[in-house]
Amino acid sequence: MADIKVWAMYFSPTGTTKKIVTQIANDVGAYMGVKINTLDFTPPMVRNEGQSFSQNDIVIFGVPVYAGRVPNILLKYLSTVVGGGAVAVPVVLYGNRNYDDSLIELRNILQNNGFKTIAAGAFVGEHSFSKTLGKNRPDEKDLKVAKDFAHEIANKIINGNIGNIPVKVRGEDPIRGYYQPRDRKGNSIDIRKVKPKTNNKCNNCGICVKVCPMGSINSENVSEVIGICIKCGACIKKCPQEAKYYDDKNYLYHKEELEQEFQRRAEPEIFL
Ligand SMILES: Cc1cc2nc3c(=O)[nH]c(=O)nc-3n(C[C@H](O)[C@H](O)[C@H](O)COP(=O)(O)O)c2cc1C
Ligand code: SF4
Ligand code: SF4
């Protein structure tokens, strides 16, 4: 297996997707006897560069679930990634609510780009909006599932069990619309224009500017969000001073509803 390359490729503003994808890739790499390559397309500049794979590549490919789907801001970039006959394992991370049609959507994207999807997984990560929903997930139990999953993926590859049939996953096809948050009366809640604010604990360290996947925080004035905010939570969760916060009523209402409604522990699901 000398010229095989194993890749961890992910978009991961708050690090949960990175954690699972890296674990799976590391373990698949260990079974194959190779070190992994990493392609983190969270920084906006990386998504300006093309990426092509070939038959020797095995790509563990992860994105978080946004509104039950693949984050729509990634669709343009994802359509440019060339599979070239590489093996791919689509992986989604969701915040303990549901992954809806995101996994089937990611599988279809990869398959259409010329990857062979031989396995897939949906894992749980702490919700981008919350410190309690899916708190500290993925945890040890999730990592154990990821480890066993990697073993199964490696076995499939070593046994030459790679066909052209896309891995069967849970979800509907044709894919349903984006999940729509609603208030108690059933009216939809629109948080698209909401942006985080900054309090006076900020010491101008600049971390939020670096971690924003949209490049939207003004480096001259970090309290200013100059571009699109996708509510990814990176600037809030990674600020060492806890200086970033939301005060939008609709956003806070939706976050609290999610925290109350989805307290049960959702478990990872794998497909082989
Ligand atoms: C805009 C947005 C929408 C989200 N929609 C969902 C969802 O529909 N279902 C769910 O369970 N989690 C949802 N989440 C939570 C993330 O999928 C989850 O926290 C994930 O682990 C974040 O990945 P990351 O740590 O790699 O950024 C959403 C997060 C954001 C920012
Ligand atoms: S990460 Fe926090 S403390 Fe650092 S510049 Fe941003 S808001 Fe300020
Ligand atoms: S400004 Fe918005 S998009 Fe940028 S890191 Fe913060 S939450 Fe994410």
Percent of the chain with pLDDT over 70: 99
Write out pLDDT tens, residues 46-83: 999 999 999 999 999 999 999 999 999 999 999 999 99
Domain limits, CATH 3.30.70.20, in the chain: 197-247
Fold topology of 197-247:
Alpha-Beta Plaits (3.30.70)
pLDDT of residue 185: 83
Using an 8 Å Cβ cutoff, are 121 and 152 in contact? no
The Cα–Cα gap between 104 and 83 comes to 17
CA 146–ligand 3 middle distance (angstroms): 28
166, containing H or E segment: none
Write out pLDDT tens, residues 226-236: 999 999 999 99
The Cα–Cα gap between 121 and 269 comes to 6
The Cα–Cα gap between 37 and 18 comes to 13
124, containing H or E segment: strand 120-124
- pTM surpassing 0.85? yes
| Helix (H) and strand (E) counts in the chain | 7, 11
pLDDT of residue 42: 98
State mean pLDDT over 92-106.
98
pLDDT of residue 163: 84
CA 227–ligand 3 middle distance (angstroms): 9
CA 179-107-36 angle, to 5 degrees, is 115
pLDDT of residue 182: 87
248 alpha carbon, closest ligand? 3
Task: Classify 123 as helix, strand or coil.
Answer: strand
Question: For ligand 2, what atom is nearest to the CA of residue 244?
Answer: 7
pLDDT of residue 164: 84
| CATH tag for 5-176+264-271 (out of 2.60.40.10, 3.40.50.150, 3.40.50.360, 3.20.20.20) | 3.40.50.360
Domain limits, CATH 3.40.50.360, in the chain: 5-176+264-271
CA 255–ligand 1 middle distance (angstroms): 12
pLDDT at 26 over 70: yes
Task: Classify 245 as helix, strand or coil.
Answer: strand
Average pLDDT, the chain: 96
- What is the distance, to the nearest Å, from the Cα of residue 207 to the centroid of all Cα atoms in its chain? 20
pLDDT of residue 186: 85
Indicate if ligand 1 lies below 6 Å from the C-beta of 245.
Answer: no
CA distances for 50 relative to 46, 84, 212, angstroms: 8, 13, 21
Contacts of 220 (CB under 8 A, 6+ apart): none
Indicate if ligand 3 lies below 6 Å from the C-beta of 233.
Answer: yes
Instruction: Tokens for 121, please give them.
Output: 């997984």
pLDDT at 2 over 70: no
Write out pLDDT tens, residues 169-221: 999 999 999 999 888 888 899 999 999 999 999 999 999 999 999 999 999 99
Which residue's alpha carbon is nearest to atom 6 within ligand 2? 208
Indicate if ligand 1 lies below 6 Å from the C-beta of 179.
Answer: yes
Indicate if ligand 2 lies below 6 Å from the C-beta of 239.
Answer: yes
Indicate if ligand 1 lies below 6 Å from the C-beta of 232.
Answer: yes
pLDDT at 109 over 60: yes
CA 231–ligand 1 middle distance (angstroms): 9
Which residue's alpha carbon is nearest to atom 3 within ligand 3? 229
